[in-house]
Amino acid sequence: MFTKTLALASLLTLTSVSAQTEYWVDATNGLDTNTGTAASPLKSVGAALLLAGTGDTIFLHAGTYSSQATGEVFPLQVGSSVTQDDLTIRGLGDVRIDFGGITGTGLRVGLLCNRLRLTNVGFFNMDKTDWWTTAVQAGSYNGPGSSADVELDRCRFVDVNRGIVLWQGVPITGWRIHDNLFVDCGNDCINEFDTSSANELFDNTFVDGAHLAILSDADQTVVANNIFSGMRVGVASGATPSAATARVHSNAFWNNSIDVEGAAFPGGTLPPANYPVDPQFVNPTMDDFHLQSTSPLIDAGDPTLFVRGDLDNVSGAVDSDFDGTVRTDVGCYESTPISLAMSGTSGATLTWSVSSSSAQVPVTGLWFSQDDGLIQIPGFSPLLIDPNSLIGPAFLGTAPFTGSVPLPTIPAGVRVVAQAFGFDPNSNTLVGGPAGRVQF
């Protein structure tokens, strides 16, 4: 333990060194006249988007970003006038972009941000009467298309009109829209209007929408591992797509007025490889759409799709039924017996507590790194830490276990990421858990 303690403390002093620029935004303590470093954060998302370039990362501290609070001007623009390929926009904690009831577009994705990742951002509060009003819009009506290979994950769309619109004219391809939550949308949650678009819409949860969850005119898009509940329509196609039997699978449909409709679903029949079952949400009247432990959707997702973290930043696929096979739960939340609490103060200590709610997983562990990343080990849950900045060996202990290390003074901007996991000695399986993050 002593060696590990030294390793952790000394590596932390190296600080995080990155070839790309990081821009920091803090709705509470930032100023748009600041430089945008961690120690001198900006106030508005819009100011960061004006500065960011290719490969950069924008970190948004928890808080509410709006016209009133931070002076945002909508639509926010990404990749519209300056090349911003490989840009990451990452929310930390409860990040809310409050549109203040506007009509029109909230965030526009242009042609110049291929491989954009937009993760852990909440979009709230739009007008629900104007047909065009949309939180995230890519391309334009019969326009030139939009950037490819965008990843949009762990976002919340609450009380917006449309959630995400991918326009037609030029196909929009390679988007991975996953582990997002859509609640109370006034119109469709996801639109995909070009017949040649080819994307993956998976592991999302759509609830209580007034219109369609997904309207896809595309012939190749995959729709899998999603929950559609309380929607007017779950999945609809336009007039031309071929049968969607192979593309629309492993989704749960429950309590919708219509589950599927359109030419891709002959006779309005739900393709067989789906689940017409009650998801068993924990407390839907209080907007808690986690799954109860008895839900038939646990470990029921298609395991071949890309997985990262769920909406809570738990490993997106966990062997939570301990059968030795790692499968994601259907929907945007993943069940795990493992929980993690971690906190740290520069110049004081870093502490953690890992526990297991299952007697079948009596051993828990924790790996540290200095950044967020992804390690995919076949047969195991994904680890949401950066393999290039892994800090020493894991801490292992009988659940629950706690630990701490003394910390030197840590420069602003440095972060410690931890991945909690459990071990089931019966099936000889590592069971994934939540990722934690301390930002200094």
Closest separation between CB of residue 181 and Ca ion, Å?
A: 11
For Ca ion, the closer CB: 311 or 390? 311
Compute the distance between CA of residue 295 and CA of residue 370 in angstroms, rounded to an integer.
35
Burial of 402 (0-12, 13-18, 19+ CB in 10 A): exposed
User: Footprint of Ca ion on residues 302-331 (CB under 5 A)?
Assistant: 319, 321, 323, 325, 328-329
Of 26, 217, 299, 371, the one binding Ca ion (CB under 5 A) is 299
User: Footprint of Ca ion on residues 196-255 (CB under 5 A)?
Assistant: 203
Q: Segment contacting Ca ion (CB under 5 A): 111-119, 241-249, 296-304, 417-425?
A: 296-304
User: Footprint of Ca ion on residues 39-78 (CB under 5 A)?
Assistant: none
Closest separation between CB of residue 214 and Ca ion, Å?
A: 16
Closest separation between CB of residue 157 and Ca ion, Å?
A: 17
Position of tokens 């759409």? 289
Closest separation between CB of residue 295 and Ca ion, Å?
A: 12
Specify the amino acid at residue 278. D
Is 32 among the residues that bind Ca ion (CB under 5 A)? no
Q: And the tokens for 79?
A: 């990749």
Give the count of residues interacting with Ca ion (CB under 5 A).
Answer: 8
**Dihedral sign, CA of 164, 113, 200, 262?**
positive
- Listed residue (315, 365, 346) closest to 410, CA to CA: 346
Q: How many residues does the chain have?
A: 440
Is 287 among the residues that bind Ca ion (CB under 5 A)? no
User: Footprint of Ca ion on residues 145-204 (CB under 5 A)?
Assistant: 203
Closest separation between CB of residue 423 and Ca ion, Å?
A: 15
Compute the distance between CA of residue 256 and CA of residue 160 in angstroms, rounded to an integer.
19
For Ca ion, the closer CB: 113 or 300? 300
Compute the distance between CA of residue 314 and CA of residue 422 in angstroms, rounded to an integer.
13
Compute the distance between CA of residue 79 and CA of residue 89 in angstroms, rounded to an integer.
12
Q: And the tokens for 25?
A: 């935004």
Q: Under the rule (CB under 5 A), what is the footprint of Ca ion?
A: 203, 299, 319, 321, 323, 325, 328-329
